[in-house]
Amino acid sequence: MTLKFDLPLPKGYRLHDILAFHSRDAESVAEQVSPERLRKGMLLDGVPLVLDIDWGSDPASAKVRIEADGKLTRAAETQAREAALSVLGLRLDPEPFSAFVKKDKLFGPLAKRQPGLRVVQSATVFEALTWAVMGQQINLTFAIALRRTFIQHAGRQHSSGLWCYPSAADAARLDIDELLSRKFSRAKAETLLRLAQAVDSGALQLELAPANTIEDISAALLAVKGIGPWTVNYGLLRGYGYADCSLHGDVAIRSAVQLLRGDEARPDIPQTEQFLQQYSPHRTMAAAHLWASLHPRDAEKA
């Protein structure tokens, strides 16, 4: 089954941020990235599919092609379209934050130097949350290696050969010893399986609804052993594009705050939380600008 549609891109769209985020894995097991195209494997309702996004011919729009190894339900078609918006960073408008900090002595000049900066998201909320768990308290290179292992052991391959990121049902069936033998710590492996099993069983609902708000989802995630505030906020940022995530526990954010303010020492977590609070309800974009300030051309690899 194949679907095609176009997505308009805003003026000044920062394509290099998208390329940096999706090319983190040099082995390209689940994403293939070139200057003109992104191909990403994912699973929806048990059907392997590839999001093929081409922006080479027209800088004002992206041509999206969904190549599914089977028939997609209407709901899955909608999810695939939403996934395209997420991976292109089109969910969270950066302009409200820029307007909010226009006269701010610290973020005003920073936002002006980084116009059009966007938050690139994972294709699904489950992918965002599992990536957050794998990235806890380790360096990016090791986290990417764990992610690759996770994909190849729990995911499935599309007919094109590209690996599809695991669904909760696939991840829930993993054997913990298999993860432990692949350099996962016991705590990380247990948290991943606990999360996947909760989502697969329906005990943890990730879909936003009037009766299941961001606040409800955050509380439910914090109740999962092994998941703390940093994982929740990072998951909300990459999974939902939620506008007010506070990444005060992130070491890179704290380092960026130190540089931004010209402090002699890196602020501790409570100090960073207090500093970021003044930028609510735009703390997600504040985090994006802080990350970008450390690595201007590789801002979206984290």
The stretch 160-166 carries a mean pLDDT of: 95
Report the share of the chain in percent with pLDDT over 70: 98
| Predicted pLDDT of residue 302 | 55
| Predicted pLDDT of residue 277 | 97
Report the share of the chain in percent with pLDDT over 90: 88
> Is residue 43 over pLDDT 90?
yes
The stretch 14-18 carries a mean pLDDT of: 91
Query: For the whole model, what pTM was predicted?
Result: 0.92
Task: Express each pLDDT in 181-229 by its tens digit.
Answer: 999 999 999 999 999 999 999 999 999 999 999 999 999 999 999 999 9
66 and 75 in contact (C-beta within 8 Å)?
Answer: no
Confidence of residue 295 (pLDDT cuts 50, 70, 90): confident
| Predicted pLDDT of residue 60 | 86
Nearest residue to 299 (alpha-carbon basis) of 163, 133, 145, 111: 111
| Predicted pLDDT of residue 298 | 52
| Predicted pLDDT of residue 296 | 63
In which element (H, E) is residue 147 found? helix 140-154
DSSP assignment, residue 93?
-
Identify which has the larger pLDDT, 205 or 140.
205
- Which residues touch 14 (CB under 8 Å, ≥6 apart)? 116, 117, 118
> Is residue 299 over pLDDT 50?
no
Q: Select 2-92's CATH number: 1.10.3210.10, 3.50.50.60, 3.30.310.10, 3.40.50.720.
A: 3.30.310.10
DSSP assignment, residue 67?
E
What mean pLDDT value characterizes the chain?
A: 93
Domain edges within the chain? 2-92
> Is residue 148 over pLDDT 60?
yes
Given CA atoms 180, 181, 182, 183 in this order, what sign does their dihedral have? positive
> Is residue 64 over pLDDT 50?
yes
Extended strands (E) in 101-215: 156-157, 163-164
> Is residue 179 over pLDDT 50?
yes
How many CB atoms are closer than 10 A to CB 273? 17
- Which residues touch 243 (CB under 8 Å, ≥6 apart)? 92, 96, 281, 282, 283, 284, 285
CA pair distance 11, 92, nearest whole angstrom: 15
Cis peptide before 115 (omega within 30 of 0): no
CA pair distance 271, 100, nearest whole angstrom: 22
